[in-house]
Amino acid sequence: NAGVTQTPKFQVLKTGQSMTLQCAQDMNHNSMYWYRQDPGMGLRLIYYSASEGTTDKGEVPNGYNVSRLNKREFSLRLESAAPSQTSVYFCASSEGTVPIGGKNIQYFGAGTRLSVL
């Protein structure tokens, strides 16, 4: 049981390049999330998907797009990378969409460390 798997673990891009961060979960969770973590800023929500077929913007969506490919997979795309997008990106999933019975407890992947030069 792998939980939440993110690929790649590390990536270096040049300004203007594009890339897709992949995330998959094997816990049959309905909801999935993408965060970025910067020093001193904590975790900030980029996009989330409450259920298969839906996506919504979080706190910092500019410069990113997402795709909920199926119930297991949620990808994050940078169309034209900028140095300001240098960060550690985390994917997470949770069982459900209501804050009852621990359904919104989040399970995190190990992260993708992205540098944009």
Partner 1 sequence: SQQGEEDPQALSIQEGENATMNCSYKTSINNLQWYRQNSGRGLVHLILIRSNEREKHSGRLRVTLDTSKKSSSLLITASRAADTASYFCATDGGGSYIPTFGRGTSLIVHP
- Decide if residue 33 touches partner 1 (CB under 8 A): yes
Beta strands 74-78 and 64-68, pairing class: antiparallel
Per-residue interface string for the shown chain with partner 1, residues 43-82, x marking contact by CB under 8 A: x-x--x---------xx-----------------------
* Whole-angstrom distance, CA of residue 31 vs CA of residue 27: 11
Closer residue to partner 1 (CB): 17 or 43: 43
Among 29, 90, 93, 116, binds partner 1 (CB under 8 A): 90
- Decide if residue 34 touches partner 1 (CB under 8 A): no
Closer residue to partner 1 (CB): 42 or 53: 42
Q: By C-alpha distance, which of 104, 32, 1 is closest to 21?
A: 32
Stretch that binds partner 1, among 22-30, 61-69, 77-85, 98-106 (CB under 8 A): 98-106
First and final C-alpha spacing in the chain: 36
Buried b (16+ CB within 10 A) or exposed e, 59-87: ebbeebebebeebbbbbbebeebeeebbb
List contacts with partner 1 (CB under 8 A). 4, 33, 35, 40-43, 45, 48, 58-59, 90, 92, 97-100, 102, 104-111
